[in-house]
Structure 1
Amino acid sequence: MDSKILLVRPVLFRKIEERLAFDDQTCESLTRWADNFDRVVMACPLMPEYLVDESESSIKLQAIADLPCADRVELVPLPYAYKIPDFIKTYKTTSQLLSAKIQECQYLCFALSGLIGDWAAIACLEAMKLQRPYAVSADRVEYEVIARTLFTKASRKNIPIKRLIKNFVTLPFIKPYQRYLIRRSKVGLFQGQDCYSAYSAFCDNAYCAYNTHTKKSDQIDISRLDLKIKSVLDNEPLRLCYAGRASDMKGPLDWVRVIHHLCQGGVNLKATWMGDGPLLSDMKSLADKLGIADKIHFAGFVSDRSQILETMRNNHIFLFCHITPESPRCLVESLVSGCPIIGYSSHYSEGLVSEFGGGAFVPIYNWQELANLIVYLNSDREKLSKLIFNAALSGQQFDQVSLFKNRSDLIKHYLDINY
């Protein structure tokens, strides 16, 4: 019998000329799933038309019908129901639809994301009713992310009041709800050490399983690595970069403050921020106010992923100030590019370099200590060059073909039933 997997995920379906589409990275993931299963059923919320203009215009979309695996993929649009009335209104029909799809598929994998509008969680409940084993996955600790945005003043000011109220009301329920679903799963695939540390105690078969989009061909070659190390040892200006959205959870204003502190410390540097977002104008204003606008290149949204990787290969440090427990892929891409990750400490970032090195971290929110660390590394170019070499070693672990095969093999091993 052909292997068939049902994936229920929070990533959004979009539309391109009436055809369903994903962002390019999700399309990569879908293709990798199809490499490991004969058929893939993908169930995700569909972004409503009225929200399209308000969405991130910078997202690079790709029609799913154009993928090489399209003939083996079934798409199941689900309601966009992140408001309580919408969730209640669509609950019955959507749970029935998920139940039907569960009965059609041999393997089940549900990516948990929250409470209201989390159809993956509802799929777990339906699988329990049918006494079907299922896998869960998570790429961030949702209740921690919400808590930090609720109780951090800088984050609250950028969140609409209705969403703040909803988050405040639902927050106490998310942790026990997710733990309930995870305890009853057959296998848990938790991206990075933050997720693994938060969830693994509640799952008998828990794995730290990475979901990346880098290939072996993306890894920095030895000649480029040698040139980068040589530029460090020749005392060329320190080159720092970041790739991601200028949003609260990325700590973009702390990032600018670090650059300012480095300049005050006499570090000759060039900094680049690749990405747009709601705080980009605040970043530029702060850079102007601090007198360092000429030191930072705000590249805006960069759609060409090869250009992002090329920038990382050319830089000496990937500077990040993430304040929430998530699993950002930019850190993996940086290591693949031989660019050491220097920033706020987390189980995730530390786990990425635990075996081979290539990172250095300070406590969260302590941007002054982070700047001091980089001042030290700039003065000890030999140590920085070793971090660059070790980053490239760590990056060799992250090949999407191998990692997706590993995830798929775990699902098959634990969910293989006579179906």
Structure 2
Amino acid sequence: MIEENDTLLLYAPVPLYSSDNGYLLEDQACNGLRLWAENFKHVIVMFPVQHGVAPPSWIPLRSAQVDFEHVEVVALPTAYRIDQFLRHQAAIRRQIRELIDRARYLSFSIGGLIGDWGAIAAMEAHRKKRRFAVWTDRVESEVVREQVHSGKTFKKRRMAALTHWPMAMLERALIRRATVGLFHGAETYAAYEPYANAAEIVHDIHLSEKDRIPPMELAKKKSAATQGPLRICYVGRADAMKGPTDWVQVMVELNKKGVEFQATWLGDGEALPAMRAEVTRQGMEDRVKLPGFVKDRTVLLETLRRSHILVFCHKTPESPRNLIEALVSGTPIVGYDSHFPRDLIASHGGGVLTTPNDIGALVATLEALAHDRVRLCTLIDRATLDGEPFNDVAVFKHRSEVIRAHL
């Protein structure tokens, strides 16, 4: 029998890294632990463990200011290969069943196939006839399906062709069995809502109120936007799903049209070498900067605040947080139309959306804004208004309230 407690059990696919000084976890995931603990008396979070060198944004859990009297971290083996999964699944199923019995509220991140412990947890909760939520921030099967054509190697393309459809079937089966689907942004909501018993749009961001652009800085930004080069940015991974090839081509076409601009893409990824090569081939190194990964979030926010526009060319159905970060920075979002950005700017119109994959339409929009600075300044004001509802405390409180209401 489930005890009347206030314990939340979560699965998150963010990997823990094992080190001599204990576990390392992504800095934003550490912030998530703190915020969950503000909304539940006890939180148990399952993470997969990886070995080796952690990425730069991973920090020691010991120094993350997490209250471990109220937060319990459970390390599960990484098992994305079939042999690993078969070796571990029986023991991990038993462990997950025991954790489910300890918790009143259950919410599991899903979005994989082999070795997705969130999917296994959802299955075990269903077998126990427990109410549970599933959460996802992108349509993972569609991301994989895109790799059928964009994969860098034949092996990756073949694997994507074999797995994207079973992955989609698993996603839908889990969502149908869940009490509620928690979908980050309108893009994932639109894709998954037809299969859900109940569905809610939620957000998962890690911007505090102090990260919002201050009024005086906003006024200076608008004044600077009335003249000079159009300042363009993008912040995110240089992967095929983000449309980096389209983004660079947009800059090439703007340059050909004689538009004065300065563009920066902050982020590393498989496509970055090809992006740099094309910029060099076009002789645009003075206009387009591709510095790669930047760990310092202060630099990221300064780049967003300084920019007049965030230009995006997203290819797959997801709900990227960088669009919210731009709005909170008073930066209009301009790029390919889809459910997520359309929903973000529905209230005040803090951006311009163009036909997906139509580079010419996006170039024309940017050229028009470069020559109409009054409209650009209006968009900056509207973007600031569209960004007002978003901060980490508010969105985690909202998701916690949704979990309590449904479960």
Shorter-chain-normalised TM-score: which range? over 0.9
DSSP 3-state at the match of 2:340: helix
Q: Which residue of 2 aligns with 1:41?
A: 44
Q: Does 1:76 align with 2:69?
A: no
One-letter amino acid of the counterpart of residue 320, structure 1: F
Indicate which of 14, 21, 28 corresponds to 2:31.
28
Q: Does 1:367 align with 2:370?
A: no
One-letter amino acid of the counterpart of residue 102, structure 2: E
One-letter amino acid of the counterpart of residue 208, structure 2: K
Q: Which residue of 1 aligns with 2:163?
A: 170
Q: Distance in 2 between matches of 1:160 and 1:98?
A: 36
1:30-179 to structure 2, matched below 5 A, reads 30-47=33-50, 49=51, 52-53=52-53, 57=55, 59-66=56-63, 67-150=65-148, 152=149, 155-156=150-151, 158-159=152-153, 161=155, 163-179=156-172
One-letter amino acid of the counterpart of residue 287, structure 1: V
Q: Distance in 1 between matches of 2:153 and 2:9?
A: 33
DSSP 3-state at the match of 2:69: helix
Q: Which range moves more in the overlay, 364-373 or 303-312?
A: 364-373
Q: Distance in 2 between matches of 1:293 and 1:253?
A: 16
- For the 8 Å contact 2:142–2:164, the answer to whether it is kept is no
Q: Which residue of 2 aligns with 1:207?
A: 200
In structure 1, the gaps of 5 or more residues are none
- For the 8 Å contact 1:216–1:396, the answer to whether it is kept is no
DSSP 3-state at the match of 2:225: helix
1:343-382 to structure 2, matched below 5 A, reads 343-382=335-374
1:376-395 to structure 2, matched below 5 A, reads 376-395=368-387
* Deviation, structure 1 residue 206: 0.8
Counterparts in 2 of 1:30 and 1:356: CA distance versus 1, 3 Å: same
In structure 2, the gaps of 5 or more residues are none
- For the 8 Å contact 1:343–1:370, the answer to whether it is kept is yes
* Deviation, structure 1 residue 2: 4.7
Q: Which residue of 1 aligns with 2:17?
A: 14
Q: Distance in 2 between matches of 1:164 and 1:194?
A: 24
Q: Percent identity?
A: 37
Q: Distance in 1 between matches of 2:162 and 2:60?
A: 37
Q: Distance in 2 between matches of 1:7 and 1:316?
A: 38
DSSP 3-state at the match of 2:286: helix
CA deviations 1:197-218 (Å, max 9, x no partner) are 0111222321110111111221
* Deviation, structure 1 residue 160: 6.3
- For the 8 Å contact 1:64–1:70, the answer to whether it is kept is no
DSSP 3-state at the match of 1:171: helix
Q: What RMSD, in angstroms, separates the aligned Cα atoms of the two structures? A: 1.5
Q: Distance in 2 between matches of 1:195 and 1:12?
A: 22
Q: Normalising by structure 2, what TM-score?
A: 0.95
CA deviations 1:120-174 (Å, max 9, x no partner) are 1110110011111001111001111111121x3xx22x2461x433332222222
Q: Distance in 2 between matches of 1:16 and 1:244?
A: 27
* Deviation, structure 1 residue 68: 3.2
- For the 8 Å contact 1:357–1:391, the answer to whether it is kept is yes
Q: Distance in 1 between matches of 2:337 and 2:153?
A: 25
Q: Which residue of 1 aligns with 2:220?
A: 227
Q: Which range moves more in the overlay, 196-205 or 61-70?
A: 61-70
Q: Normalising by structure 1, what TM-score?
A: 0.93
One-letter amino acid of the counterpart of residue 32, structure 1: L
Q: Distance in 1 between matches of 2:377 and 2:15?
A: 41
Q: Which residue of 2 aligns with 1:292?
A: 284
- Say how many residue pairs are matched: 403
- For the 8 Å contact 1:232–1:381, the answer to whether it is kept is yes
DSSP 3-state at the match of 1:77: strand
* Deviation, structure 1 residue 295: 0.6
Q: Distance in 1 between matches of 2:198 and 2:354?
A: 32
- For the 8 Å contact 1:144–1:324, the answer to whether it is kept is yes
One-letter amino acid of the counterpart of residue 98, structure 1: I
Q: Does 1:339 align with 2:331?
A: yes
